[in-house]
């Protein structure tokens, strides 16, 4: 046996294989980048939802304050019995409209809260 017999293997398509590996590497990098973007979006979404919830709570608190500062209909009826000349029908209808507006705001606020709960 002279020296050592050498074995040569012809690799066909090794360039194609290298290209495939390069493509796979590129795809993995794209997936990692997309994952990072999704994580950033998730973070922004959570911060936005938290901000909206805080604003809704503050809005609800302010609506409650307005509602508590408004005179009750029972108080108006009592004062109407005491001095009917001091109360006008316009004042009662205006108070009713305000009460209705506050109630509508409160209902809309509750709807927003429910929708935000669904987003979580």
pLDDT at residue 3, as a whole number: 63
Cα 101–chain centre separation: 25
pLDDT at residue 21, as a whole number: 94
Contact criterion met (CB below 8 Å) for 68 and 106: no
Domain ranges of the chain: 53-120
Mean pLDDT, the chain cut into blocks of 10 residues (120 residues total) = 67 83 96 96 92 89 84 56 46 69 81 78
pLDDT at residue 85, as a whole number: 44
pLDDT at residue 26, as a whole number: 97
């Amino acid at each position: 046996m002279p020296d050592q017999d050498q074995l040569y293997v012809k690799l066909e398509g090794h360039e194609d294989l290298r290209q495939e590996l390069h493509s796979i590497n590129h795809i993995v990098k794209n997936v990692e980048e997309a994952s990072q973007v999704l994580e950033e979006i998730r973070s922004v979404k959570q911060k936005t939802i938290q901000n909206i919830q805080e604003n809704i709570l503050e809005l609800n608190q302010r609506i409650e304050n307005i509602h508590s500062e408004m005179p009750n209909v029972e108080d108006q009826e009592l004062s109407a019995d005491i001095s009917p000349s001091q109360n006008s029908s316009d004042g009662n209808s205006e108070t009713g409209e305000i009460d209705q507006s506050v109630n509508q705001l409160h209902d809309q606020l509750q709807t927003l809260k429910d929708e935000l709960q669904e987003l979580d």
